[in-house]
Chain A
Amino acid sequence: MLIFNNIDKTFQVKQRSVDALKNISLELNDGEFMVVNGPSGCGKTTLLLIAGSLLRPTSGEVSIDGQDPYKMSQTERNQLRSNAIGFVFQQFHLIPYLSVRENILSPALASVNHTGNDRTEQLAEHFGLTERLDHYPRQLSMGEKQRTALARALYNKPRVILADEPTGNLDDDNADIIFSYLKEYTRDGGSVLLVSHDRKAAQYGTRVLKMKKGELVNN
């Protein structure tokens, strides 16, 4: 599903080169729940953004469903993200002026064909948000916010979920709920690449990688 082949990423910071990723190669298969653990600043988010076709690597190749997103046009890359990838972030990034229902529906803005309200209702029910559909993000708890973000990520039925510290703002119970949902998603054939410094995440992963100073240390 997702293949990294010798990926390097170097940032230029004040005329100084900073190697964020060094020679990263990995393969995420369908139904796999991959957890990348590592301390803050080790390059986890950079890895996730490259996987999400949002950040072009300095060198190496990325393949999503057999296609290199960085060899596509911007429009094709947008389509790829819309159809194949779902994102979940620590800060949720819910749109504050849209209701839960509209936030879950928001990926539809990127696609011509979308499944509409039925899908929203299904996801809301699945994530225990049915009573909250007409509420706004400010009216939700942290756990509800992250469940809304997860429902949004799943709206377009993506092949892979890229999750960046999804439980960073949650208590243990809510974190367990989120991990469980992600685990459930992989059981249905989806793939999850989750980066976190939370060691608890490793309990849910089918594969756990450790990252240090931009390198995978136990690939």
Chain B
Amino acid sequence: MQRLISGWKLIKNEIGYRRTNFILSVISVFIAISALIASIMVLRIHDRHTNQILQNKQEQLQSRMDSLQNETRKAMLELGFNILILPENQDVSDWYTKDYGDTYMPEQYVDKLAGSGLLIVRHFLPILQSRMEWEEKDMEILLIGTRGEVPNLDKPPREPMVDPVPEGTVKLGYQLHQKFNLSQGDAINLKGKKFVVNECYNERGNKDDISAWIHLDEAQQLVHREGVINAIMALECLCQGKVELSELRDKISEVLPGTQVIERGSRALARAEARLKLKKRAEQAIKSEKEHREELREVRENITSALIPVIFIACGIWIAFLGLMNSRARREEIGILRAMGVPVKKILHVFLSKYFIIGILGGIAGFLGGLLSGFIFSRFLEGSFIWIDPGIAFLLWLIVLSIAGAALLSVIAGWIPALTAARQDPAEILHGE
């Protein structure tokens, strides 16, 4: 059997012979690479934890906002219309004092508004409201003509807030049906036209108690105002937040020129504003948390970016020191190899190959140690164990970084000792014996 000698044999046997020096060198590389990988993992886990925290807060906020939005919507429905659109030349004080208007706008305005694509208002109710003498009963009443809500064509259909009044019927306020002892199904005459009582309202304590609701077309005929209305009632949608009144006016004016918009305060508005404030506060809290986490990351990044080079330099110096000790211990061996004619290049190759092996082993061990210590450090830094799946691509990148970084560190640190060893003057070594 042919047994040959090779550089690899020298490396392998020498490693076994001076294993303490070798193990200490591998440990140095291990420490450096572990520190590097651990710091990368700590930052990555920090980022993942930050995302988790912010996502949880965002979800909590969203859940709270959804709940509040629902409450606001219910409140709005309970509290009725909060937008009143009147002709531009309608004196608002007259409207309030007389409870009706004496200026008019085309009835088609309500259809125009419903089809305008304006999403901040919904539930459009065209009305013609007029004070009139109920001659048959010798009483002044408020006559309100309406044809029911016009649906917003750009929004999903919702249940109407008020039911339309069928033609030929009338809905009576509390005072009217009480005073004349009227009930559902009774027939009455209004200016000579016959209507059947459709509904009798309970007492509301406002002008509704002396109001009579009939179909818009019939009201227009009774007061001789065909094709016109004097108000559109609507509901401002507060679900997406409060729009400034001026903005609301501008938007409606763009659709309905020659109109004015009056917003009526309501608990729904207050609730919506409270919801907005809560949202702002919560968003501010999320922002603060994000800033805090970013500051924390910056601190950790600064520490690691200062510490890692120090660790690398310290480990490099230690490897170089071990290398110099090793080359000193191998003086005689180098001397005799050179005397036998082994070229400097080959001796350098033997030494550098050994450092490369140190790098590979230290790199692999450092990679595993770094992953593990990254999770352990993060457990203490983050306050709880955070598991992340690094993903194959990231792991591959870490492995390449570990092995390449370790090999580079080891070979650079071992370069001077290797060169020193290879360039030793054999004459000096052999002469010195």
Which residues of A approach B to under 8 Å, CB–CB? 45-46, 49, 52, 54-55, 74-75, 77-83, 87, 89-91, 93, 95-98, 101-102, 105-111, 116-117, 120, 152, 164
Given contacts A78-B343, A96-B17, A110-B341, contact A105 B332 (CB under 8 A): no
When C-beta atoms are compared, the residue in chain B nearest to A80 turns out to be B341
Given contacts A102-B5, A117-B1, contact A109 B13 (CB under 8 A): no
Q: Is A93 a contact of B332 with CB atoms below 8 Å?
A: yes
Q: Which stretch in B24-32, B111-119, B424-432 binds the other chain? A: B424-432
Residues of chain B in range 13-42 having any CB-CB distance to chain A below 8 Å: 13-14, 16-18
Given contacts A109-B340, A117-B1, contact A97 B431 (CB under 8 A): no
Taking the closest CB of chain A, its distance from the CB of B10, in whole angstroms, is 8
Give A74 to B17 CA distance when docked, in angstroms.
31
Give A46 to B340 CA distance when docked, in angstroms.
17
Residues of A within 8 A of B338 (CB): 54
Main SS of the interface on chain B?
Answer: helix
Q: Is A109 a contact of B5 with CB atoms below 8 Å?
A: yes
Residues of chain B in range 124-155 having any CB-CB distance to chain A below 8 Å: none
Taking the closest CB of chain A, its distance from the CB of B13, in whole angstroms, is 4
Which residues of B approach A to under 8 Å, CB–CB? 1-7, 9-10, 13-14, 16-18, 332-333, 335-344, 346, 426-427, 430-431, 433
Q: Is B430 a contact of A110 with CB atoms below 8 Å?
A: no
When C-beta atoms are compared, the residue in chain A nearest to B345 turns out to be A75
Q: Is B337 a contact of A109 with CB atoms below 8 Å?
A: yes
A-B contact sample (15 more), CB < 8 A, given A93-B332, A95-B337: A46-B431, A52-B339, A54-B426, A74-B344, A77-B341, A82-B341, A97-B18, A98-B9, A102-B5, A109-B340, A109-B346, A110-B337, A116-B3, A152-B340, A164-B430
Partner of A78, one of B3, B336, B341: B341
Q: Is B4 a contact of A49 with CB atoms below 8 Å?
A: no
Q: Is A55 a contact of B341 with CB atoms below 8 Å?
A: no
Residues of A within 8 A of B431 (CB): 45-46, 49, 55
Residues of B within 8 A of A117 (CB): 1-4
29 contacts between A and B (CB under 8 A): A54-B430, A55-B427, A77-B341, A78-B342, A78-B343, A79-B341, A81-B341, A82-B342, A89-B430, A90-B433, A91-B433, A95-B10, A95-B336, A98-B9, A102-B9, A102-B13, A105-B3, A105-B5, A106-B337, A106-B340, A107-B340, A109-B6, A109-B346, A110-B341, A116-B2, A116-B3, A116-B4, A120-B3, A152-B340
When C-beta atoms are compared, the residue in chain B nearest to A75 turns out to be B343
Q: Is A49 a contact of B341 with CB atoms below 8 Å?
A: no
Taking the closest CB of chain B, its distance from the CB of A137, in whole angstroms, is 11
Taking the closest CB of chain B, its distance from the CB of A24, in whole angstroms, is 16
Residues of A within 8 A of B4 (CB): 105, 108, 116-117
Taking the closest CB of chain B, its distance from the CB of A78, in whole angstroms, is 4
When C-beta atoms are compared, the residue in chain B nearest to A96 turns out to be B17
Q: Is A82 a contact of B340 with CB atoms below 8 Å?
A: yes
When C-beta atoms are compared, the residue in chain B nearest to A56 turns out to be B427
Give A83 to B4 CA distance when docked, in angstroms.
18
